[in-house]
Copies of this chain bind each other. A is one copy, B any other.
Amino acid sequence: MASGAGPEIERLMALLSKLPGLGPRSARRAALALLKKREQLLIPLTAAMQDAAERVTSCHICGALSTRDPCATCADPTRDAAMICVVEEDSALWAMERVGAFSGRYHVLGGLLSALDGVRPEDLRLSGLMQRVSSGGVEELVMALPATVEGQTTAHYIADRVKPLAPEVTITHLARGVPVGGELDWLDDGTIAHAFKSRR
Protein backbone atom coordinates (compact mmCIF):
# COMPACT_ATOMS: atom_id res chain seq x y z
CA MET A 1 0.00 0.00 0.00
CA ALA A 2 2.60 2.57 -1.08
CA SER A 3 0.94 5.92 -0.46
CA GLY A 4 3.78 8.34 0.18
CA ALA A 5 2.30 8.89 3.64
CA GLY A 6 5.32 7.73 5.59
CA PRO A 7 5.83 4.38 7.39
CA GLU A 8 3.85 5.30 10.54
CA ILE A 9 0.67 6.22 8.64
CA GLU A 10 1.09 3.26 6.29
CA ARG A 11 1.35 0.91 9.25
CA LEU A 12 -1.82 2.42 10.70
CA MET A 13 -3.63 1.90 7.37
CA ALA A 14 -2.35 -1.66 7.02
CA LEU A 15 -3.62 -2.59 10.51
CA LEU A 16 -6.96 -0.85 10.04
CA SER A 17 -7.50 -2.77 6.80
CA LYS A 18 -7.44 -6.00 8.86
CA LEU A 19 -10.68 -5.02 10.61
CA PRO A 20 -13.72 -6.85 9.21
CA GLY A 21 -15.55 -4.75 6.62
CA LEU A 22 -12.59 -2.45 5.94
CA GLY A 23 -10.64 -2.88 2.72
CA PRO A 24 -7.54 -0.90 1.71
CA ARG A 25 -9.61 2.06 0.53
CA SER A 26 -11.84 2.36 3.60
CA ALA A 27 -8.79 1.80 5.82
CA ARG A 28 -7.18 4.86 4.22
CA ARG A 29 -10.33 6.88 4.85
CA ALA A 30 -10.44 5.67 8.45
CA ALA A 31 -6.75 6.54 8.98
CA LEU A 32 -7.33 10.03 7.57
CA ALA A 33 -10.40 10.54 9.79
CA LEU A 34 -8.38 9.45 12.84
CA LEU A 35 -5.48 11.77 12.02
CA LYS A 36 -7.76 14.71 11.30
CA LYS A 37 -9.89 14.19 14.42
CA ARG A 38 -7.04 13.65 16.83
CA GLU A 39 -8.73 15.00 19.97
CA GLN A 40 -12.29 13.79 19.29
CA LEU A 41 -11.49 10.35 17.84
CA LEU A 42 -7.87 9.17 17.68
CA ILE A 43 -6.97 9.80 21.33
CA PRO A 44 -10.24 8.53 22.91
CA LEU A 45 -10.32 5.45 20.64
CA THR A 46 -6.69 4.65 21.47
CA ALA A 47 -7.53 4.94 25.17
CA ALA A 48 -10.63 2.73 24.81
CA MET A 49 -8.59 0.10 22.94
CA GLN A 50 -5.82 0.17 25.54
CA ASP A 51 -8.43 -0.17 28.28
CA ALA A 52 -10.02 -3.12 26.44
CA ALA A 53 -6.65 -4.80 25.85
CA GLU A 54 -5.79 -4.55 29.52
CA ARG A 55 -9.13 -5.28 31.15
CA VAL A 56 -11.37 -7.38 28.91
CA THR A 57 -11.17 -11.08 29.62
CA SER A 58 -13.39 -14.15 29.09
CA CYS A 59 -15.87 -15.20 31.78
CA HIS A 60 -14.68 -18.58 33.10
CA ILE A 61 -18.28 -19.81 33.30
CA CYS A 62 -19.91 -18.81 30.01
CA GLY A 63 -16.92 -17.60 27.96
CA ALA A 64 -18.38 -14.14 27.25
CA LEU A 65 -16.01 -11.21 26.84
CA SER A 66 -16.23 -9.05 29.95
CA THR A 67 -14.15 -6.91 32.26
CA ARG A 68 -15.44 -8.97 35.17
CA ASP A 69 -15.07 -12.68 35.87
CA PRO A 70 -17.70 -14.04 36.34
CA CYS A 71 -19.38 -11.70 33.86
CA ALA A 72 -22.35 -9.50 34.76
CA THR A 73 -24.86 -12.06 33.42
CA CYS A 74 -23.37 -15.05 35.26
CA ALA A 75 -23.05 -12.99 38.47
CA ASP A 76 -26.64 -11.67 38.29
CA PRO A 77 -28.81 -13.68 40.75
CA THR A 78 -32.02 -12.43 39.09
CA ARG A 79 -31.18 -14.23 35.83
CA ASP A 80 -32.63 -17.71 35.49
CA ALA A 81 -29.86 -20.28 35.93
CA ALA A 82 -32.19 -23.04 34.68
CA MET A 83 -32.01 -21.73 31.10
CA ILE A 84 -28.78 -21.60 29.10
CA CYS A 85 -28.73 -19.99 25.67
CA VAL A 86 -25.93 -21.46 23.51
CA VAL A 87 -24.44 -18.97 21.02
CA GLU A 88 -21.57 -19.06 18.54
CA GLU A 89 -19.95 -15.73 19.39
CA ASP A 90 -20.32 -12.72 21.67
CA SER A 91 -22.00 -10.85 18.83
CA ALA A 92 -24.96 -13.28 19.04
CA LEU A 93 -25.07 -12.81 22.83
CA TRP A 94 -25.11 -9.02 22.32
CA ALA A 95 -27.93 -9.37 19.79
CA MET A 96 -30.00 -11.50 22.22
CA GLU A 97 -29.39 -8.94 24.98
CA ARG A 98 -30.44 -6.04 22.74
CA VAL A 99 -33.72 -7.85 22.05
CA GLY A 100 -34.19 -8.36 25.78
CA ALA A 101 -36.48 -11.37 25.37
CA PHE A 102 -34.22 -13.82 27.24
CA SER A 103 -33.64 -13.70 30.99
CA GLY A 104 -31.48 -16.79 31.48
CA ARG A 105 -27.73 -17.38 31.22
CA TYR A 106 -25.48 -17.85 28.19
CA HIS A 107 -22.76 -20.10 26.89
CA VAL A 108 -20.45 -18.76 24.17
CA LEU A 109 -18.97 -21.62 22.12
CA GLY A 110 -16.35 -19.46 20.40
CA GLY A 111 -17.05 -21.00 17.00
CA LEU A 112 -18.90 -23.79 15.20
CA LEU A 113 -17.87 -27.31 14.23
CA SER A 114 -16.61 -27.29 10.66
CA ALA A 115 -14.97 -30.11 8.77
CA LEU A 116 -14.01 -27.64 6.05
CA ASP A 117 -12.22 -25.21 8.38
CA GLY A 118 -10.94 -28.01 10.62
CA VAL A 119 -12.82 -26.88 13.74
CA ARG A 120 -13.15 -29.89 16.05
CA PRO A 121 -15.18 -30.27 19.29
CA GLU A 122 -12.07 -29.66 21.41
CA ASP A 123 -11.61 -26.27 19.70
CA LEU A 124 -14.93 -25.05 21.11
CA ARG A 125 -15.93 -24.18 24.69
CA LEU A 126 -17.80 -27.49 25.00
CA SER A 127 -16.38 -29.18 28.10
CA GLY A 128 -17.45 -26.19 30.19
CA LEU A 129 -20.98 -26.48 28.79
CA MET A 130 -21.13 -30.20 29.57
CA GLN A 131 -19.96 -29.48 33.09
CA ARG A 132 -22.64 -26.82 33.56
CA VAL A 133 -25.35 -29.14 32.23
CA SER A 134 -24.29 -32.18 34.26
CA SER A 135 -23.89 -30.25 37.51
CA GLY A 136 -27.70 -30.02 37.66
CA GLY A 137 -30.21 -27.21 37.88
CA VAL A 138 -30.38 -26.68 34.10
CA GLU A 139 -33.82 -27.31 32.61
CA GLU A 140 -33.53 -25.91 29.10
CA LEU A 141 -30.75 -25.44 26.60
CA VAL A 142 -31.75 -22.90 23.90
CA MET A 143 -29.71 -23.40 20.74
CA ALA A 144 -29.36 -19.90 19.26
CA LEU A 145 -26.98 -21.07 16.53
CA PRO A 146 -26.96 -19.89 12.91
CA ALA A 147 -29.25 -21.65 10.43
CA THR A 148 -26.25 -22.90 8.46
CA VAL A 149 -24.81 -26.39 7.97
CA GLU A 150 -22.14 -25.66 10.60
CA GLY A 151 -24.67 -24.20 13.03
CA GLN A 152 -27.02 -27.17 12.73
CA THR A 153 -24.19 -29.73 12.88
CA THR A 154 -22.97 -28.10 16.09
CA ALA A 155 -26.49 -28.07 17.58
CA HIS A 156 -26.94 -31.78 16.77
CA TYR A 157 -23.53 -32.63 18.21
CA ILE A 158 -24.32 -30.80 21.47
CA ALA A 159 -27.75 -32.46 21.73
CA ASP A 160 -26.14 -35.89 21.23
CA ARG A 161 -23.65 -35.25 24.00
CA VAL A 162 -26.14 -33.68 26.43
CA LYS A 163 -28.78 -36.46 26.19
CA PRO A 164 -26.85 -39.29 27.95
CA LEU A 165 -25.30 -36.80 30.40
CA ALA A 166 -28.50 -35.03 31.49
CA PRO A 167 -31.61 -36.60 29.94
CA GLU A 168 -33.89 -34.25 31.91
CA VAL A 169 -32.63 -31.17 30.00
CA THR A 170 -34.96 -29.96 27.21
CA ILE A 171 -33.14 -28.82 24.08
CA THR A 172 -34.91 -26.12 22.06
CA HIS A 173 -34.00 -24.22 18.89
CA LEU A 174 -34.84 -20.71 17.69
CA ALA A 175 -37.87 -20.90 15.38
CA ARG A 176 -37.25 -20.79 11.63
CA GLY A 177 -39.56 -18.74 9.46
CA VAL A 178 -40.19 -15.53 7.61
CA PRO A 179 -38.27 -12.63 9.22
CA VAL A 180 -40.35 -9.68 10.43
CA GLY A 181 -40.82 -7.37 7.43
CA GLY A 182 -39.63 -10.13 5.09
CA GLU A 183 -41.07 -10.15 1.56
CA LEU A 184 -41.73 -13.71 0.36
CA ASP A 185 -40.32 -12.80 -3.02
CA TRP A 186 -36.87 -12.14 -1.52
CA LEU A 187 -36.66 -15.23 0.68
CA ASP A 188 -34.96 -18.45 -0.28
CA ASP A 189 -37.07 -21.54 -0.91
CA GLY A 190 -35.82 -23.35 2.19
CA THR A 191 -37.07 -20.59 4.48
CA ILE A 192 -40.47 -20.45 2.80
CA ALA A 193 -40.87 -24.23 2.92
CA HIS A 194 -39.88 -24.24 6.61
CA ALA A 195 -42.25 -21.41 7.43
CA PHE A 196 -45.10 -23.18 5.59
CA LYS A 197 -44.53 -26.47 7.43
CA SER A 198 -44.40 -24.66 10.80
CA ARG A 199 -47.49 -22.52 10.07
CA ARG A 200 -49.80 -21.88 13.01
Which residues from chain A sit less than 8 Å from chain B, CB to CB? 2-6, 8-9, 11-12, 15-16, 18-22, 26, 28-35, 38, 41-46, 48-53, 55-56, 65-68, 71-73, 89-91, 93-94, 97-98
Contact = CB atoms under 8 A, between A and B. Distances in A.
Q: How many copies does the complex hold?
A: 2
A15 B45 contact: yes
Contacts of A91: 28-29, 32
- Of listed A6, A19, A28, residue having the most chain B CB within 10 A: A19
A48 B91 CA distance: 26
- Of listed A4, A41, A42, A44, residue having the most chain B CB within 10 A: A4
A108 to B, nearest CB: 11
A4 B46 contact: no
A129 B8 CA distance: 26
A199 to B, nearest CB: 31
A28 B72 contact: no
A97 B98 CA distance: 45
Contact of A20 (B33, B51, B71): B33
